[in-house]
Chain A
Amino acid sequence: ETGVTQTPRHLVMGMTNKKSLKCEQHLGHNAMYWYKQSAKKPLELMFVYSLEERVENNSVPSRFSPECPNSSHLFLHLHTLQPEDSALYLCASSQDSAGAYNEQFFGPGTRLTVL
């Protein structure tokens, strides 16, 4: 595997379910990100991790819970979601979180549908 991978690619869940999204980067980067992409809206930055520590949490509801066990893996745990949470969830990584010049490398995303 190369670059940034995400699993699953598609997920359908009920509002009472608990599920997790997984992201893995094979680039040796130190920073990882979760974004939410909704139709016709800008990408919304949800969480930023640098060296496994959360450095940013953009007022995301507590029903989204991130976890970064090491610099290569990032999870997004989902619990009691709402239909408006249906979106494409993108994971990205970069060399570090502070360097503005650093390119972010994106995964293919998980298409989440909440029924």
Chain B
Amino acid sequence: AQTVTQSQPEMSVQEAETVTLSCTYDTSENNYYLFWYKQPPSRQMILVIRQEAYKQQNATENRFSVNFQKAAKSFSLKISDSQLGDTAMYFCAFHDYKLSFGAGTTVTVRA
């Protein structure tokens, strides 16, 4: 069975600082995809970043980057230069034959 674990229910960060969200997953598959989704208080969930398991290079999207450690089955998200608009719940998701989500981490950016 697939499981995705986000061990940090809540995190708070000062504006302009950096925050890192952790995610671990469990799978016996070798080829799969990993995603971070963001759900702002308005509730529409959007994709932040994705990573293919066969790529060693960590994905980056502007201020968002991941640290993908395949052997450790770890997929953390780093938000640099945090902005107030980054306040949201962040979900880690894993996809081989279907998409499975973690329980989410609520990130609050303080002014």
Interface of A toward B, CB cutoff 8 Å: 3, 40-43, 45, 48, 56, 88, 90, 92, 100-101, 103-104, 106-109
User: If the complex has contacts A100-B96, A101-B33, A103-B50, are A42 and B44 also in contact, measured as CB distance less than 8 A?
Assistant: no
Would A56 and B43 count as touching, CB distance under 8 A?
Answer: no
User: If the complex has contacts A40-B103, A42-B4, A45-B98, are A101 and B50 also in contact, measured as CB distance less than 8 A?
Assistant: yes
Would B102 and A42 count as touching, CB distance under 8 A?
Answer: yes
Would A106 and B101 count as touching, CB distance under 8 A?
Answer: no
Interface assignment of B46: CB less than 8 Å from any CB of chain A: yes
Instruction: Give every chain B residue within 8 A of A100 (Cβ-Cβ).
Output: 31-33, 95-97
Would A42 and B103 count as touching, CB distance under 8 A?
Answer: yes
Partner of B52, one of A3, A41, A48, A101: A101
Interface assignment of B62: CB less than 8 Å from any CB of chain A: no
A-B contact pairs, 11 of them (CB 8 A): A40-B9, A40-B103, A42-B101, A42-B102, A42-B104, A45-B100, A90-B45, A103-B50, A104-B99, A106-B45, A108-B43
User: If the complex has contacts A100-B33, A101-B50, A107-B44, are A41 and B98 also in contact, measured as CB distance less than 8 A?
Assistant: no
Instruction: Give every chain B residue within 8 A of A48 (Cβ-Cβ).
Output: 98
Name the interface residues of B70-104: CB closer than 8 Å to any CB of A: 91, 95-104
Report the minimum CB–CB distance from B104 to chain A (whole Å): 8
User: If the complex has contacts A42-B4, A100-B96, A103-B50, are A88 and B102 also in contact, measured as CB distance less than 8 A?
Assistant: no
Instruction: Give every chain A residue within 8 A of B9 (Cβ-Cβ).
Output: 40
Would A45 and B99 count as touching, CB distance under 8 A?
Answer: yes
A42 CA / B91 CA spacing, docked (Å): 8
Partner of B98, one of A3, A56, A88: A56
- Looking at A40, A41, A88, A106, the one whose CB has the most chain B CB atoms below 10 A away is A106
Instruction: Give every chain B residue within 8 A of A41 (Cβ-Cβ).
Output: 103
A106 CA / B43 CA spacing, docked (Å): 9
Instruction: Give every chain B residue within 8 A of A43 (Cβ-Cβ).
Output: 91, 101
